[in-house]
Structure formats: C-alpha cells, structure tokens
Amino acid sequence: MHDVVIVGAGPVGLFLACELGLAGCSVLVLEREPELRSPWKADPLGMRGLSAASVEAFYRRGMLRPLLTASGIHADPDPDPDADEPSPPRGVGHFAGMMLDPADVDVTALPFRLAGPAAEGMMTSLEAVESVLSERAAELGVEIRRGVTVSAVEQNKDSVVARADGHKHAYEHAYEHAYAARWLVGCDGGRSTVRGLTDFVFVGTEPQFTGYTVLATIADPEKLGPGFNLTPTGMYLQMRAKGHIGMLDCDGGAFDRSQRPTREHLQAVLRRVSGTDVTLNDVHLASSFTDRAMQTTTYRQGRVLLAGDAAHIHSPLGAQGLNLGLGDAMNLGWKLAATVHGYAPDGLLDTYTRERHPIGARALDWTRAQSAAMRPDPHAQALQGVVRDLLGTRDGTTYVFKQTSGSSNRYDLGGEHPLAGRNAPDLRLENGTRLGDLMGDGRGVALDLTGDRSLHESAMRWENRVRYVAGPARNDLGLGAVLVRPDGTVAWAGDRTPDRDAFEQAAGRWFGHPKN
C-alpha cells in the first residue's frame, strides 16, 4: 500500500508528487496518456505563463535553473544578486484582451516585495514543466505509471483503492488492477474521473462562448491583426508563432465539444469574429474550450482530495489555471505529508480547502469578469471603454498585476501582522543566503533576524520539521523574526523584539507537538 496515489501526471500532479516524495512519502502516480510528449504540450500550443508565485515555487525547491534550461531560457536566474529593491516587472499581461503597460505598475504598492531570482513570471511550455518535474519525481523515488485509466474509486476509514484499466502492449488484452493507498488525490484535469466517481459537488456558471486554439496554414495571414483583437463579433488572437490562432465565438458554448472542429467550421468562425475573408488552407491541430466556470464545494471527501482543474475549471483568460493548480499542490503537499507521518496538528488537512477554495473562487470570478467584458454587444463594449480607461491609470495597472502575479493572495490565518498569511519575501541575510535557498528540503523555516538568537531555544523544539537560521538581513522590512511554512506562506512574523510565546503557539499550530 502506498501512502498516496495521485491520478494525473500533469504539472499539478507531478508537483504534488515531488512535494510528497521530498517529505519521504511513498507515492504512485497514475496517468491515462501512455506518452509524456504531445504536440499540445510543446511550443507553440503548449506555451504557458508562470506567475512570479509559481516561479518562486520552483526556485524554492531548487528547480528554477533546470526549468529555465528546459524552457530554452539561457539566463542567470539572479542577474543582479546585490540588488535589494525590486525592479519594475517586465510583463503584466492583459485583461479581456486589453494589454497593460508594465511601466505603469507602482512597485512601491506591492506588499513586501524584494528583489530575487523569482521576482518575475516567465513563459515556458507544459513539456518543459513536466519534464523537469518528472525527472525530479524519479530522483525522489516517485513511481509513475502511464497508460492507466482509473475506472473506480472505493474508500473506507483507513484506505482508498483506485481500480484502473490499462494495457501492457497494444496486442495484449486490457486488464484491471487495484491500487491501494492511505490517501488519493485527483489531479486529472477539468473532466476529472476522480471527481465524477466520488461525492464532490461541482457548481458554477454556464458558458458564454466557445473558444478555439488552432495551428493552421493560413493563406493570407496579413488580413489578421497581430495580438489580441476585440471585434464587434468576438475576439481573435494571432500569436507570434506562424499559424497559431486563438478565437472566441460568443455562441453560449453551443459548439459540440465531443466533435473535432473541422477546417470549414474553424474558417467560418475566424471569418465571423475577424470580419475578414481570411482562408485556412490546412488545419494541423485544433481544440475547443469554453468559459464554463465551476468549482467543487470542498476539496476533500474522506481520504480523497482534489487539486488543480479537477477542483475548479474556468476559461484560460488571464492565464490563471496552471498557476492556480500549482498553488494547490504547494499548499496541499506538506499538509498531506504531515498527516501521513502522523505529526500533523488536528485539522491541518482541512485548512487545505479553507485556504485554497477562496483563491479558486476569486480566479473564477476574474475570468467571468473578462468574459462579460468581451461579449459583442453594446453593453459590453461600453464596459470595455470604462475598463480601458481604468487600466490606463497607474492604480488600475497595479491592481491587475497584483491579481495576476499572485502578490495579492493572502490566507486568513488570524494573525495581526500584515505579513502573516502572505507569500514570504525572499529575505537575504548579510552572508548572502536567501530565504529561498533554505527551503529546498521541504521543511519550514524559522528566520531569526535578532542579534541575540532569541528564538533559538524555542525553534529547536521543532528542529526535525523547522530549520532554524539566525543572522541579520540586508533588508529586514522591519522584521525581527519570521516563521515560514513549507509552502512559503508566512505563518507568523514578529517585530524587532519577537514574542517567544506567540512564536511557539504558531509553530505548534502548523507543525504539531514539539519534541520533549
């Protein structure tokens, strides 16, 4: 029996597997697709944007440099190691197809932001992300079985069993196998089998449009404008890669997505939303999606949990899906590992839903707002004008950047300090060590910035779960000490004279009973 079975070997499932493997759990990942590689994962169709928060997750686990290499980015992840203040972001993105100027971001309004290797988001591909995570998972002893389709999930108070169909070779008969574990996590995407086989309630809103992603040979691409193009009949996006087109057709989601879109259908949609007579000679790859926005009411049912698109689906507007799922995996991994090993404080695993569900709900609303602003009707077009004016202001651009970068996320941990519940800034000690450098082993970190090591005795009571490090920081942001959870969230922060009792209370809340 494994400690955890994960269904789905996409980025979310693999990142979770790495977190659990790092914590010493036995992990089995079951993946329906028989092969890792796919044209849908490679450049250009597989290109995705990682937010600064997601980049930081890879950085903290020592995977940022491999990810940059796999993404074809040959750059130093920390080009200015002596910088204390962060530079303005290089990219901000868009809202409902309306592009923003990164120069309009007010860096001083970003909470607790410091310079560091992970201060920026980046472009990568699903292939690059999955290759890095697969390699790390293998190093950590995680077993990945591909070509396995889960068909049933059964659980009792002590364990859960995934029954799966699969085949060894094309010429052999299908067989059924039962995979037993103490816990099971569904990371199997928007059409999650695990979610459908268990008692999760999935609620939300129906679609306003059908979207298409197309790789085609276009006879007359000059008839299409570059980038995002909002039109009176919809929206189209001409990517930088030749023949890579995105389209939104405001048909109320009427297209039958069980059918593969034909060249004739795609050409008709593109002509309608672009207002041109553009011609598609050949369609090499095409898929469809909608802005249906749904979320499970809880992320846990007994010994079964959900993460990523299995727990929430929405349109890709704003590039939130991958980042939202990686955040789920980072939040869940250390909590589930502590539960497996038996030292989790009461209720720790339930904080996964309590913390991540509001973040997911906000992402769904973010995409709903963009869908509403992109409808081809006079009301939406009037709304576009208002929003465009707001986005042309410094405050408006800064607000959008906070939402898309993850810097506005804050869990309600009940602490009084404004840093509690936020992603920890990458504090740097005078000896050059950064907070991110201290988190590679998956433990929490107690960073004591006082000169008298006032928290040493207290922190050492949790030394097997929390790394204690002391020393002055180059820019301490007025902090005397900070307790950081394994997911990079600040569990507690103290001023220049830290309260030992408050520190111990926070440590016990998140890391369980201390050793005697």
Q: What are residue 296's phi and psi, to 5 degrees?
A: -75, 150
Q: Are 134 and 35 in the same domain?
A: yes
- 134 lies in the same domain as 9: yes
Instruction: Note the pLDDT tens digit of each residue in 418-466.
Output: 999 999 999 999 999 999 999 999 999 999 998 889 899 999 999 999 9
What is the model's pLDDT at position 174? 53
Distance CA 426, CA 394 (A): 25
- By the 8 A CB rule, do 473 and 429 touch? yes
Domain boundary among 264, 290, 316: 290
Tell me the C-alpha distance between 510 and 339, whole Å. 12
Where do we find the tokens 């830290």? 498
Host domain of residue 259 = 210-290
For the chain, which residues score pLDDT lower than 50?
A: 169-171
- Note the pLDDT tens digit of each residue in 125-159: 999 999 999 999 999 999 999 999 999 999 999 99
Asked whether the beta carbons of 228 and 290 are under 8 A apart, the reply is: no
What does the longest C-alpha to C-alpha distance in the chain come to?
76
The pair of structure tokens assigned to 186 is 């569904």
**Whether residue 73 is found in the same domain as residue 85:** no
Pinpoint the alpha helices (H) of 186-314.
193-197, 263-274
Q: Is residue 415 part of a domain?
A: no
**Do 68 and 146 sit in the same domain of this protein?**
yes
**CA 272 – CA 245 distance, rounded (Å):** 14
The upper half-sphere exposure of residue 150, i.e. CA atoms within 13 Å in the direction of its Cβ, equals 30
Which helix (H) or strand (E) segment is 356 a member of?
A: helix 351-373
Cβ atoms 50, 56 nearer than 8 A: no
Residue 10 CB-half CA count within 13 A: 25
Instruction: Say if residue 47 is in the same domain as residue 168.
Output: yes
Question: Count of domains in the chain?
Answer: 4
The predicted pLDDT at position 171 comes to 47
Return the ∠ at Cα 111 (arms to 67 and 398), rounded to 5°.
85
Same domain flag for 41 and 158: yes
pLDDT at res. 200: 96
CATH code assigned at 358: 3.50.50.60
pTM exceeding 0.85: yes
Domain membership of residue 417 (yes or no) is: no
Task: Decide if 46 is inside a domain.
Answer: yes
Run of H or E residues at 447: strand 444-448
- Count CB atoms within 10 A of the CB of residue 69: 13
Q: Are residues 106 and 64 in the same domain?
A: no
Q: What is the CATH number of the domain that holds 450?
A: 3.40.30.120
